[in-house]
Amino acid sequence: MNPLNSIDNYTRPEGPVVLVIMDGIGIGAGDAGDMVAKASKPHLDWLQAHALSTRLRAHGSAVGMPSEGDMGNSEVGHNAIGCGRVFDQGAKLVQEALASGELYEESTWKSLISQVKASGGALHFIGLLSDGNVHTHIDHLLAMLRKAAEEGVTKARVHTLLDGRDVPPTSALEYIGQLEAVLDELNASGVDYAIASGGGRLYITMDRYNADWSMVERGWNTHVKGEGRHFSSAGEAIETLRAETPGVIDQDLKEFVIERDGEALGPIVDGDSVILFNFRGDRAIEISRAFDEPDLHTFNRGPVPDVQFAGMMQYDGDLKIPKQYLVTPPAIDRTLGEFLATSGQRQLAVSETQKYGHVTYFFNGNRSGKFAEELEDYVEIPSDRLPFEQRPWMKAGEITDTVLDSIEGNKHDFIRINYPNGDMVGHTGNLLAVEISVESTDLVVGRLMKAIEAAKGVLIVTADHGNADEMYALDSTGVPKVDAQGKPMLKTSHTLNPVPCYIYDPAGQCGATLNPQENLGISSLAATVMTLLGFEAPEDYNPSIVKV
């Protein structure tokens, strides 16, 4: 890769260009459920009034999702921001592979099916049961179940991870009902297909970034060993667990095991095949490692069954996790980080554990590691291990301390930050905590503004998608839906709203003006960073938000 070309007659800022990604802080309708509008945020309000200010698309086709009705998310958002172009993402690639039948023609699917037909074992599906289209889509699971029955697989077990995060917070029974209807339909033909286990996505299986391997251990014990509290059905389990913990939402429900004749219905044993049907990588890597790595010692797995395991996609191409997969992930290259490293620019990426992989792995195009060890610093601030609503400020202060040290010491040319607060707290549905999370983010943005002014740098403040901006579920007319008691229904998922973009150049060195082109997306941020650093963006990059 060749270095970037410099922009002629451009005065580069003396200080660094700092990109702040306020995770989950979009532009809402300003109504009662818009915690971004409700929050006291003097610094963000000042930037909107006085800095270069625009809004960017962060969902649907702007981030490579199948339709304009698909929310953005942190994974595809950081891909788009760091890669400067839009690539078809997992949801769309899987949808197309299933629709065309290509997935079933590949060797991995054929091998999984052949194994269970030869052994008489079960084909297991583990994954998030929802239609949020962020980690999975229930339609993908249902299509594969139907195809397995068509191809002569007589026994299948589904291990259901409950969502309540990318979909309404207590909607699990709707998806269980959809799944059970298809299982009943298939069982009428003489097969034995059933739900075997389950639990909330934030309690079992779906940990990420090595934050809490005990989640994976609980999932392993539940799905593989068949250990846990027994119930006659998933519906009984969900209703019982909800009654025992009033106010609990689906993502936090404890594990359960379905029994038949007093025995666990679906432990994973020698000769079985297992498909992890999540297509998004961050929360799929650790459970994949538990199946694939013989020398994994993060928890005691006990005897590891001799099975064939495959992910819906390969979740880490550099580390080859997992070894087998059904759909080839997008091939992303020539990212912002790689171009800047090739051009000799010093870079800092910093966040806390919950989003550290987003400003590194996803930002770099699903690539582990650095492009130039001597030019790049990656800093992970360990996240607290407690519910986010109990500490909504999270690690914003510590992240900012790290960045201020860099700015004041002139250590880096480009700094990228993720503040997870608006997203991680937004998913809890606790309105007061969400409001505080936005205010906490505003507070640290104010600290950065002072440092940027002193260093004569440039600050870009934006987001990867919305969440805290729409905390009530809305009907098609924009009116909040209400529950049986007449109270507004909470929404814990991402939104379809645009996100803000503020460009603050207090020294006025760059002479930047807004690009008049409309409907730009967050993928334009990469070219924007290059422009402000004094480099011409590659021709195939989406256009910069500013002109200089």
- Do residues 255 and 229 make contact, with C-beta atoms less than 8 angstroms apart? yes
Cβ-based neighbours of 129, under 8 Å, separated by 6 or more: 136, 138, 141, 158, 160, 161, 162, 163, 172, 175, 176, 179, 198
Nearest to 203 by CA among 242, 236, 249: 249
How many helices and strands (H and E) does the chain possess? Answer: 17, 18
Cβ-based neighbours of 249, under 8 Å, separated by 6 or more: 164, 169, 170, 200, 429, 492
For residue 315, the 8-state DSSP code is: S
Annotated catalytic, 74? Answer: yes
d(CA 236, CA 246) in angstroms, rounded, equals 16
d(CA 423, CA 22) in angstroms, rounded, equals 8
In this structure, which amino acid lies at residue 16? Answer: P
For residue 365, the 8-state DSSP code is: T
- Do residues 65 and 76 make contact, with C-beta atoms less than 8 angstroms apart? yes
- The structure tokens listed for 85 are 């172009």
* Residue in 6, 53, 74, 544 annotated catalytic: 74
d(CA 528, CA 547) in angstroms, rounded, equals 9
Element (H, E) at 145: helix 138-150
Catalytic residues: 74
